[in-house]
Structure formats: C-alpha cells, structure tokens
C-alpha cells in the first residue's frame, strides 16, 4: 500500500541519492527488479553489482545512476524505516513507486504533486488528511487541498 505525506516529516531523507551512495549494498543492484528499473529509467544495463553500462556516460559506477533510480532502490530495499523524498524522482518513476507499493507498505514524502496518471487503478492513503483516495483524480483533488509541500 502506498502512503503519501506532503511536506516535511520526521525520519525522512530529503535527498535520497546521497543517502543511497553511503548505504547501498552490492546485491541490490543485480536484483532482477533493479535491473529492470535501471533499464527503464536510466536506459542502462547492469553488467555487475559494481558496473553499469550507460548509453550516455559509458561504463559507470553505481554512484552515477540517476537520482530517481537511487531513490527507487532505497524504497525497494532499505529497511531502516526512513521515509524517502519522492520529489527526487521524476514522473517517469511514478509507476515504479506504485509497483513497489503493491508488494510492501511504502510511505513516501512529497514536496510537489507527483503525476501518478501512468498508474492503473491508482489508490493511496494520504497521511496529512487521513484519507484514502481511490483514483488518480481523487488523489489530485486531495493533494490540491493540502497546503504542506
């Protein structure tokens, strides 16, 4: 289930890519779900746990993955209880955030309104207003009414 909090919240990480650089584990990178996300978002191939083949940058290290992918990998694997700022992700990451939340309770922080229109049958729980939204339109309407960012 996806839980969303707009604005600052305790125990959150504002810039997940930096947190990722200092906490990730090699085995995260070669997980089939990571390989798929890295291919989709960064258009890059995982060669091994420490090497990525980027069509733009050539052979790169894990630390040169995009901020969006790093944030997704934290949402997928990190078990510290931290809440990650999904505003570090572009809208092209939205479907992956939603996909991750189908398999675990995932709480994200947002400092802007993310476009989840690419997610089929979207639903989420909005922590700020204690409301369940059952569609993307309901999510938008609810998000517009919330002042916090």
Partner 1 sequence: MKGKYHIIVQNSRVKFEFDIKRNITIVRGDSATGKTTLVSLIDTYDRLGADSGVEVSCSKRCLTVNNSNWESILNSVSECIVFIDEENTIIKSDDFARKIKDTNNYYVIITRENLPNLPYSVEEIYGIHTSGKYADMRRTYNSFYQLYSVDEQRMADKAETVIVEDSNSGYDFFKAVAADDINCISAGGKTKIKRTVMDNEGKNLLVIADGAAFGSEMGELYLYMQKHPEVSLYLPESFEWLILKSGLIDGNRIADILEHTEDFIESSEYFSWERFYTKLLISETEGTYLQYSKQKLNDVYLDPNEKEAILNVAEVIKKYVG
CB of 124 to partner 1, least distance (A): 15
| Smaller CB separation from partner 1, 17 or 24 | 17
Q: What distance in Å separates the CA atoms of residue 6 and residue 8, rounded to the nearest whole number?
A: 7
CB of 104 to partner 1, least distance (A): 21
- Tell me, letter by letter, the H, E, C secondary structure of 28-97: HHHCHHHHHHHHHHHCCEEEECCEEEECCCEEECHHHCCHHHHHHHHHHHCCCCCEEEHHHCCHHHHHHH
By residue count, the chain amounts to 149
Residues at the interface with partner 1 (CB under 8 A)? 14-15, 17-18, 41-43, 55-58, 66-69, 87-93, 111-113, 115, 117, 136-137, 140-141, 144-145, 149
| Smaller CB separation from partner 1, 97 or 105 | 97
CB of 116 to partner 1, least distance (A): 10
Residues near 102 by beta carbon (within 8 Å), at least 6 away in sequence: none
Q: What distance in Å separates the CA atoms of residue 65 and residue 71, rounded to the nearest whole number?
A: 10
CB of 115 to partner 1, least distance (A): 6
| Smaller CB separation from partner 1, 52 or 105 | 52
| Smaller CB separation from partner 1, 14 or 80 | 14
């Amino acid at each position: 289930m996806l839980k969303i909090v707009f604005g600052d919240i305790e125990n959150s990480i504002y810039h997940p890519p930096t947190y990722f650089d200092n906490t990730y584990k090699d085995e995260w990178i070669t997980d089939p779900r990571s390989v798929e996300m890295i291919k989709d978002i960064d258009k890059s191939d995982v060669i091994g746990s420490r090497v990525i083949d980027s069509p733009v940058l050539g052979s790169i290290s894990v630390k040169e993955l995009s901020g969006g992918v790093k944030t997704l990998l934290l949402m997928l694997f990190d078990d510290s209880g931290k809440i990650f700022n999904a505003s570090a992700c572009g809208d092209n990451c939205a479907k992956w955030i939603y996909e991750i939340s189908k398999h675990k309770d995932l709480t994200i922080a947002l400092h802007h309104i993310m476009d989840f229109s690419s997610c089929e049958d979207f639903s989420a729980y909005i922590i700020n207003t204690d409301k369940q939204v059952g569609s993307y339109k309901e999510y938008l309407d609810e998000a517009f009414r919330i002042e916090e960012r």
